[in-house]
Amino acid sequence: MFPILAPSVKLKPDTKRIFIGAYGSEERSLGWLLFHQGEGAILDNAFMFRYRHTKGNRNRIAEIRKALTAIGAAIPINIIYDARSPFRIEDSVAKHFQPLISSATEIVLDISAMTKLLILVSLCELHKFVGTLRIVYSEAQDYVPSREDYEKAKEGMELIAKYPSRGFQSVIRTKCLSSIRMQGQPITLVAFTSFNEQLVRHMLGTLSPHRLLFINGRPPRNDYEWREWATQEIHQKIIEQYLFDNPLDNNGHLTRVSSTLNYIETIHQFERIYKQYGNYERLICAATGSKMQTLGLFFAKVLHPDIHIEYPTPDSYFVKGASEGIRKVHEIVFPRFSDFLASLHQK
């Protein structure tokens, strides 16, 4: 039913195509654009999220604009995203995206450099788009932290766990991701593990849920298998508090896990969760997973509109740095996006 993640293909200037992306700091923010250099004017225009009050490295604005110009989008339309005050981004996205619904034949949505909130809100605002939606994602060659850096940093994990004010800024709620169904019922909080355990701690303090269900992340690469255990280890103290709801296998690993790249596995996890708890408890999900897990979360919301999604915005991280290199450029193609979403509503 859901289209699979596949290698990106070369496109031709044969349709009215709009690009939506973000000015990121990592090399992979250029992945899809560099892949199409030399293919001619394949874009009619571009909408770019420009981060204000960014944290960490400078964004590659000049490089990205040069790459956009080379494939037809010389004057991109910028949408400001204020990292310190992201509350108005839903209205801003709706205003800018409205003309796309009727004017474009194809939209390329590059989520590689987008925050999870931008991914979710962008998809929500494109729900009426009748043309082809091409979601693209550039995988980095090397991710932070390295295993060596993580092992060195583990000594500070216990100290960090005592100060829940670190690593967190605010919880963002949007109209399109909200649900008022099942209010007054016990809350089941669903969260993804990550390298920032403070996000979940603050969600717990804000919601006081009846139960907490973790979905651990499983990288598809053999050289990153250790990260599945590392993200569980970072959340270990919280897992122990909700151990009944987070079963472990014979090796001590969380059994509820989904790929950090294959978004369909995340959808399947939410189908199981909804079947078990959705009819009796209010499901609230913290968007704390990988970008592709976030994509799966969006489709879980489409399948079950009563799922409520909140975005805890990070302030700082247990580990710092940026990914390096471009390993692969992926895409998922939805030929008639609005019709596809409508078919999910009928399930």
Distance between CA atoms of residues 137 and 261, nearest Å: 9
Contact between residue 31 and residue 138 where contact means Cβ atoms under 8 Å apart = yes
pLDDT tens digits, 246-272: 999 999 999 999 999 999 999 999 999
Distance between CA atoms of residues 308 and 305, nearest Å: 8
- pTM, two decimals, is 0.94
Class of domain 147-313: alpha beta
Residues 244, 249, 253, 255, CA torsion sign: negative
**CB-based contacts of 333: which residues, under 8 Å, 6+ apart?**
3, 6, 132, 133, 134, 135
pLDDT tens digits, 107-147: 999 999 999 999 999 999 999 999 999 999 999 999 988 99
Give alpha helix (H) positions in 198-305. 198-207, 226-234, 236-241, 263-277, 291-303
Query: Going by DSSP bridges, is the β-strand pair 17-22/45-52 parallel, antiparallel, or unpaired?
Result: parallel
> What are the boundaries of each domain within the chain?
6-142+324-345, 147-313
Query: Going by DSSP bridges, is the β-strand pair 17-22/328-334 parallel, antiparallel, or unpaired?
Result: unpaired
Express as a percent the part of the chain with pLDDT over 90: 79
The pLDDT score that the predictor gives to residue 315 is: 63
Class of domain 6-142+324-345: alpha beta
pLDDT tens digits, 16-42: 999 999 999 999 999 999 999 999 999
The answer to whether domain 6-142+324-345 and domain 147-313 are alike in fold is yes
